[in-house]
């Protein structure tokens, strides 16, 4: 992801992000942009969408929301710089 965001920043290319299975209707895809798909190997909800959306899932009653259990994240800034948020 870092290399992709860095490339977009250097070339002036706009970026759109698709959080896994979110936006299956294609609303995250725009012409003339670089699409970053956070879905990984599973086409359903990715960790980005799960956590930002609160994290409602099968284990919520036992472990709580995913967002309540997030200890840190590696975040890629618009410049392409990777930082660790805690």
Residues 20/38, Cβ–Cβ less than 8 Å:
yes
Query: Exposed (0-12), middle (13-18) or buried (19+): which is 85, by Cβ within 10 Å?
Result: exposed
Residues 22/48, Cβ–Cβ less than 8 Å:
no
Residues 67/55, Cβ–Cβ less than 8 Å:
yes
Output the average pLDDT for the chain.
Answer: 81
Give the pLDDT score at 4: 92
Which pTM was predicted? Answer: 0.66
Q: What is the mean pLDDT of residues 53-64?
A: 80
Distance (Å, whole) CA 61 – CA 77: 33
Give the model confidence (pLDDT) of 26-53 as tens digits: 677 788 999 887 766 555 666 776 777 6
């Amino acid at each position: 992801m870092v290399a992709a965001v860095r490339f977009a920043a250097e070339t002036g290319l706009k970026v759109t992000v698709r959080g896994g299975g979110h936006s299956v209707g294609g609303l995250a895809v725009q012409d003339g942009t670089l699409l970053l798909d956070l879905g990984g190997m599973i086409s359903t909800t990715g960790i980005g969408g799960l956590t930002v959306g609160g994290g409602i899932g099968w284990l919520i009653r036992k472990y709580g929301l995913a967002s309540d259990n997030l200890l840190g994240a590696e975040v890629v800034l618009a410049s392409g710089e990777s930082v660790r948020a805690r």
